[in-house]
Amino acid sequence: MAGGLGRGGQLGGVVFRQQKWKSSVSMRAKMPPCDFVPEEYRSYPYERMLKIREQNIAPSLRMYYKKPLLLHQGHMQWLFDYEGRRYLDLFAGIVTVSVGHCHPKVTLAAQKQLACLWHTTNIYMHPSIHEYAEKLTSLLPDPLKVVYLTNSGSEANDLAMFMARLYTRNFDVICLRGAYHGGSPYALGLTSIGSYKHGVANGIGCSTTMLPDVFRGPWGGSNCRDSPVQTVRKCSCSEGVCHANEQYIEQFKDTLNTSVPKTIAGFIAEPIQGINGAVQYPKGFLKEAYRLVRERGGVCIADEVQTGFGRTGSHFWGFQTHDVVPDIITLAKGIGNGFPMAAVVTTKEIANSLAQNLHFNTFGGNPMACVVGSAVLDAIEEDSLQKNSKDVGTYMLLELAKLRDKFEIVGDVRGKGLMIGIEMVTDKDSRHPLPAEEINQIWEDCKDMGVLIGRGGLYNQTFRIKPPMCITRKDVDFAVEVIHTALERHVERAAAN
C-alpha cells in the first residue's frame, strides 16, 4: 500500500480527505519515497477497536485526532496505519523513538536476547546489566558513574527525589513552573502543569519557581537562548550581559528566601522543557541556579528524559549545553527506543544513601532492557545520529523560522537539534495563545497531509516536533511544506469568517 493509490484516496503516501469546507490552497509537498512495504493488517476492524477502547481501556488514556489513528507498523521515521497509509512521525511516540521505529540493530539484539534469557532479577549477575552500566557511564563525566535502572521516567524522577532527600537529610525540592517530571503521586509534586493535577495531595515539600521563558515570560530578548533561532523580542543588552537572565535569577533567589528553609534537598530541571513545548532558558541560568542550590546544601538533578542521547545535537546530554555537571541525572524515553526502561545516574556517595536499607526494583535492569539499551547506544554512534540531530535539526529550525516571519500566528520557533517547539499565538504583540479550535484544525490538516506532530504548552498552544533522530533533510522539506500549507489554509479560513 505504501506509495501508489490505495484505500482512502492515497497518492504517494499522502491522504486526501473529502471536507465540507473547500480550500483553494493546494497541497504542494510530495512525501519522500520509502521502499518499506508494511505487512497486511489482519487484526480487528477499526470500529471494533473503537468499541474495545471505549469499554475496556481506561478513559484517562486519551487519543489524538477527531478520527483516532489505528497504527499497525513502523519503520524508522515512518508509521503505517491499518489501511496502509504512511505518515512521517515527527513526535516519535512522545520523544521516545530515538534511533527509528524497529531499527534493525535494536530489533536483532532484542530477538537474540529473547531466545537466551528474558528475565532474571538483579539479585543475580547477568552479563547485559554490567556491560550496559559500563557503556552508559563511559558517556558521562566524573563523578556520575553509578547507575540504578528503572522502568519509566516517572519512576526515575521519583527515585532521584528520594535519593536527594536521603543524601542531604533535607526535604524541600524546587522545580520550575511548566515542568513535567512524571505522573506518579510523588513525581506529580515536581510536575507544574495544571492539567496533570488531580486535586489530591501529592509531592509534599515541592516548591515551584518562575519559569525563565524568554518568549512568554516577563523578560526576554533577541540573544537569550542557545538556539539557531531567537525570539522576535528586542534586546538592548551589551555583549556578555543578559538582563533577562539577571531578572529570572532574582526570582529564583526570591523563592529560596521565601518559600523553602535555609537548607534544601535539591533542585530539578529539564535542560529544555519538553511537555511545555521546548521552552529554553537564558544562557547561564542553570549554571547560576545550580550554584545557589548547592549553597543551600541541595543537590542538582537534570531530567534528561527528553533531552538525552544526542537529541540536542551539539552534545550527547542536554546538561552539557549549559556548562554544568549535575549531581543526579534521570534518563528514560529514548534510552530504549520505545522499550520500557529508564535510569538514575549519580555519584557513589549519593547512591550509597539508598543502600542504608533495602530498596529493590523487580524489572529494572532486566536482560532485555539492558541489551536493547546497549544496542541503542551503538546505533546512535554507528548512524551518527547526534550529528544528524544537529545538522537536520538546525536546518529545520531555520526553515520553520521563515514560517514565523511569514505568519502572524506563529509566535515563536525555538529549540536545539531535534527538540523543537512552534508556539501559536493570536498575534506576536500580545502573545495570547491561539484558540484551541484553530490549533486543532491546523494539527488535523497536518495529519491528513501525512505528518504527525505533538502538542504541548500550558495552554496546549505549542506544536512539538521531536522526531526519530534518523530523519532526513528531504523529510524536513516535506514536513515544513505541509505545515506551511496548513497555515495558509488557516489564514484562508480566518479571512472567510
Whether residue 116 has pLDDT greater than 80: yes
Strand 410-416 versus strand 462-465 pairing type = unpaired
Residue 1 confidence (pLDDT): 32
Map residue 338 onto helix, strand or coil.
coil
Residue 114 confidence (pLDDT): 96
* Side-by-side strand order, sheet with 14-15: 5-6, 10-11, 14-15
The CATH homologous superfamily of the domain defined by 5-90+385-496? Aspartate Aminotransferase, domain 1 (3.90.1150.10)
User: What does the pLDDT look like over 162-217, one tens digit per residue?
Assistant: 999 999 999 999 999 999 999 988 899 999 999 998 888 887 899 999 999 999 99
Instruction: Look up the CATH architecture of domain 104-382.
Output: 3-Layer(aba) Sandwich (3.40)
Map residue 442 onto helix, strand or coil.
helix
104-382: same fold as 5-90+385-496? no
Query: Rounded CA gap, 205 and 135, in Å?
Result: 35
Average predicted confidence (pLDDT) for the chain: 93
pTM of structure: 0.94
Residue 21 confidence (pLDDT): 55
List phi, psi (to 5°) of 438: -75, -40
Residue the block writes with cell 497504527: 71
CB atoms within 10 A of CB 445: 24
Top-confidence residue, 240 or 397: 397
Query: Rounded CA gap, 193 and 178, in Å?
Result: 5
Residue 7 confidence (pLDDT): 33
User: What does the pLDDT look like over 30-75, one tens digit per residue?
Assistant: 999 999 999 999 999 999 999 999 999 999 888 889 999 999 999 9
- Give the residue extent of every domain in the chain: 5-90+385-496, 104-382
Q: Pick left, alpha or beta for residue 349 (phi over 0 → left; psi -120 to 50 → alpha; otherwise beta).
A: alpha
